[in-house]
Chain A
Amino acid sequence: MDKIFTTICFCFLFIGCMDVTKVAPKVDTLGLQKNIALLEQGRDVYINRCTKCHNAVRITRFPMKEWEDKILPEMILESRLAPAQSEAVTAYVRAVLLSNQK
C-alpha cells in the first residue's frame, strides 16, 4: 500500500513539474499585434488536427528549418489540411519559434 501511495505521489509531482502551456503557447502570450485571427486559427489546427494521431509536440523542440523543410510539409500532407489551414498552422508555428528567440 505504501508503494502505491509513493507511486501516486511521484506521478503528481511529475505532473506538477510539467509546463503544458509551453507545448502550444496561446496566441495572446506571444506578444504579437498583427494577424491574431490567423494565428488563433493556426493554434486551433495545431492542437486539434495534429492530436488526431499523436500528442501535440512542443513546438520549440525543433528548429525553424526542420519545421519548414520537413515536419510541416509532411504533416500537412498527412493530415490533408486545406490551404487556408496549412497557411494558418505554418504562421502559428513560425510565430511561436520567433517569439521564443526573443
Chain B
Amino acid sequence: MKCKKAYFIMLRHLSSIVLLLILLSPKDVLASSRSTPWLYEPRTMTKGEVEYEQWITWKTNKKSDSRYEEFRFRHEIEWGVTDAFQLAFYVADWRHKRTSNEEHTYFHDIAVEAIYQLQAPNPDQMGVALYGEVKYGSEFFELEGKLLFELELDQVNFLYNFGIEAEWEGQDFDEDKGKIENAFALTYQPTPSKTFGLQAIWEVEFPDWSEQGDDVVYIGPSISTQSDGWWLAVSPLFQVTNIDSEPDLQVRFLFGIDF
C-alpha cells in the first residue's frame, strides 16, 4: 500500500516536472541528448563536447517481495573524443534498496563506456554504432557490448539495440551469469526539441551461462525534451510477462547538462 502511494506521488512529481519543462522550453534549440531512456542511439557527441548526465531509476512492485523498492543513481560524464567516438565515465553508481529483510544504501560500481559510430542516422542511411562498457565494483565485474541501430524516417525513428552482458559476482568473482537484451523503440519527433516514444525490452538471463533463466519483457512510453544546454527524458516500463522475481514497474529519469 505504502509502495503504491509512493509510486503515485513520484509519478505525479515526475509528470509535473516534465510538463513544466516542456512548456517552458524554448522551441527548436538543442543540446546533444537522449530521447529514449532505455535504449542508446547511434548519434554521438561532436568533438570536444562535454556533458554531465544524471540517471535516476526507480524499481518497484515485485510479486515475490511486497516490500521491495529500489532507487538507482548514476552520475556520468560524457566526452566527445572525435565526431564519431565518445567516452563516458560513470563516476559512481549507487543504490538505495529496500526488501523484506533489509534496507540499505550502498555504492555499486564505477564504469567506462565507449560508443563508436559507424554510420550516423540520416534520411539516406540507417545509423549504426558499436557500444562497449566495463563496470567494476566491490565483488562485481561486468562486460557489456551492444549493437545500436537507428532508422530515421522524417519525424519517426525506429531504434533497435542488441546487447550481450557478462557479469561476475562474489568474493572470488565465481558467480557468473549472462544476459541477452533486445530493445526496440518507435519515436515521434513533432519538433526537433521534443520526442515521444514507445519502448520495449526483452531480456533473457543465463545463470552460469549454462541454461536459460528468466525471460522478461517490459513495455512503456517515453517523453523527452531538449533545450539550449540541457535535456531531460523520462520513461516508465511495465512488465508484461509474469516473472515474480522481477519488478513490475521501472521508471527511468535522465537529464543532461552540456558544458
Query: Chain A interface (Cβ within 8 Å of chain B)?
Result: 11, 14-15, 18, 20-24, 47-48, 51-58, 71, 74, 78-80
Pair A52/B43 contact, Cβ less than 8 Å: yes
Q: Residues of A contacting B157 with CB < 8 Å?
A: 55
7 shortest interchain CB distances as A-B pairs: A54-B192, A47-B122, A53-B30, A23-B123, A51-B122, A18-B153, A20-B123
B44–chain A nearest beta-carbon distance, Å:
8
Q: Choose among B46, B120, B123 the residue with the greatest number of A CB atoms under 10 Å from its CB.
A: B123
A69–chain B nearest beta-carbon distance, Å:
13
Report the count of interface residues on B (CB-CB < 8 A): 28
Pair B153/A47 contact, Cβ less than 8 Å: no
B136–chain A nearest beta-carbon distance, Å:
31
Pair A56/B31 contact, Cβ less than 8 Å: no
Pair A53/B226 contact, Cβ less than 8 Å: yes
Flag whether B28 is at the interface (Cβ < 8 A).
yes
A-B pairs with beta carbons under 8 Å apart, 16 shown: A15-B153, A18-B153, A20-B123, A20-B153, A20-B154, A22-B154, A48-B122, A51-B120, A52-B83, A53-B226, A54-B30, A54-B189, A56-B123, A78-B30, A78-B228, A80-B46
Flag whether B118 is at the interface (Cβ < 8 A).
no
A14–chain B nearest beta-carbon distance, Å:
7
CA of A26 to CA of B31, assembled, Å = 27
Pair B31/A53 contact, Cβ less than 8 Å: yes
Flag whether B124 is at the interface (Cβ < 8 A).
yes
Flag whether B199 is at the interface (Cβ < 8 A).
no
CA of A15 to CA of B188, assembled, Å = 13
Q: A18-B156, A78-B30 are in contact. Are A51 and B46 (CB under 8 A)?
A: no
CA of A66 to CA of B173, assembled, Å = 60
CA of A24 to CA of B122, assembled, Å = 10
Q: Which of B112-130 contact A (CB under 8 A)?
A: 120-124
Q: Residues of A contacting B155 with CB < 8 Å?
A: 55, 58
